[in-house]
Amino acid sequence: MSTSLALLRPGEPPLDLGSIPWLGHALEFGKDAASFLTRMKKKHGDIFTVLVGGRYVTVLLDPHSYDAVVWEPRTKLDFHAYAVFLMERIFDVQLPHYSPSDEKAKMKPTLHRDLQALTDAMYTNLRTVLLGDTTEEAGGWREMGLLDFSYSCLLSPLLFLSLGYFPVSPECRCAESARRCPPGRAGWRCFGIGPWEGRMPLCVSCSFPCCVRSTIHLRRTDGAPTVGQVLDTQIRIKPKRPFTPVPWRQGGRRITGDKDRACQVKGRLWKLLSPARLATRAHRSRWLESYLLHLEETGTAEAMQARAMVLQLWATQGNMGPAAFWLLLFLLKNPEALAAVRGELEQLLSRAEQPISQMTTIPQKVLDSMPVLDSVLSESLRLTAAPFITREVVVDLALPMADGREFSLRRGDRLLLFPFLSPQKDPEIYTDPEVNYILGTMGEKISGFGTSQI
């Protein structure tokens, strides 16, 4: 305590150094950040500073004060330095003249302008992957883990949507495409993929679940399944062709460790996503074209462009698997919620001008008119999504709180927001923060959530 008081300046948040010099609370923070920060909040309040691996991290858990942080100019609170650190440390990416704000400003108009086109293409790709080749003899039922199922259903359509594919003419699609298609991926035939393209969804679908599996946590109660049991929840599906991912081999040695596999796959993706290979692909998205042009304009070398594409692949599609996993898990566990979502969709599609079997896309107005599905997805993410909002303190500054208090932050420290605890799990907002609620009235948007539990 005496050491804490000696280091603490007047007006600064409470300081907790932990029991281990320099390391501080690094072990507790890394093991279970939510439980650790909950304990610190009970001890110190909505704002406090902890020592984590030699860095002083100020944690703000008052959601009413988040705006003061988010809207603070970069000259005082900046994410740039931390983003560069993550890019170099995790993805081995070093971009010249990198500016997150400039990159976002260039890419955002492209996504908004092409939203309907992206929706149409995604619908077509999903039908292709999920329904497969209708001329093919149906296979038998098989079982697979829910997390792997979530990735296998969504990853391939998203990859081809973003990166394009090699088209195959109708007359040779059956023979030539079947020869070039990876075993067990009949749905990919319509994309005309070759040997190398076939490996890309395969290696990504193998590595992404490995990377996110350790980040998914469940609070266990008496008799509840373990995390591994839930992640590997077996579901019965009936695909057109069976498919079993095979771990990559290096020098004849089977790679079984998640970290080794991720590093190996990262290297293979650098080759697959090189500008030379991407230039040969047809029907590339405008987003891809715009981003490659942006990299060229900033003077990025071709080798580094490939690494930047792997970074974008993870940034745009890494969270898709866990989001789909939690949504499906909630719906499968609660038949009433699943029936409500299906009823909402069937009611909307019944008003469409053509039957679902003949639809080439789902109109945007249909997607925008599904409050039940929206609320189920929002609640699923509220209960499970736990991102950190991080800012580097560039200069000494005073942080105003919503209740009128003011705290001093030191230059060089790190400021951390954790919405998972508040507002997402705030008991003052939700009567039972651990309960998933959907809208109480079908098709009617109301304030807050209803009382139907999921």
As annotated, the binding site for substrate includes 89, 95, 319, 414
Do the beta carbons of residue 248 and residue 261 sit within 8 Å?
yes
158-196: b or e for each residue (b if 16 or more CB lie within 10 Å)?
bbbbbbbbbebeeeeeeeebeebbbebbbbbbbbbbbee
How far apart (Å, rounded) are the C-alpha atoms in residues 382 and 299?
40
Instruction: Report the relative pairing of strands 142-145 and 234-237 from DSSP bridges.
Output: antiparallel
CA distance 142 to 414: 48
Spatial separation of the C-alpha atoms in residues 426 and 434, rounded to whole Å: 10
Q: How far apart are the first and last CA of the chain?
A: 45
Residues annotated in the binding site, as ranges? 89, 95, 319, 414
Cβ atoms 255, 164 nearer than 8 A: no
237 and 130 in contact (C-beta within 8 Å)? no
CA distance 216 to 366: 31
Integer Cα distance of 187 and 29 in angstroms:
43
Neighbours of 319 (CB within 10 A): 14
Cα(208)–Cα(394) distance, rounded to whole angstroms? 34
Residue 43 near residue 36, CB atoms below 8 Å: no
Which tokens sit at 76? 């005082």
Q: What span, in angstroms and rounded, lies between the C-alpha atoms of 125 and 436?
A: 31
For tokens 């896309």, the residue is: 361
Q: Do residues 261 and 247 lie in contact, with contact meaning Cβ atoms separated by under 8 Å?
A: yes
Let me know if 338 is exposed, middle or buried by CB neighbors in 10 A (0-12, 13-18, 19+): middle
Q: Rounded to whole angstroms, how far apart are CA atoms 420 and 416?
A: 12
Residue 165 DSSP class: B
User: Cα(325)–Cα(319) distance, rounded to whole angstroms?
Assistant: 10
Beta bridge partners of 52: 24, 55
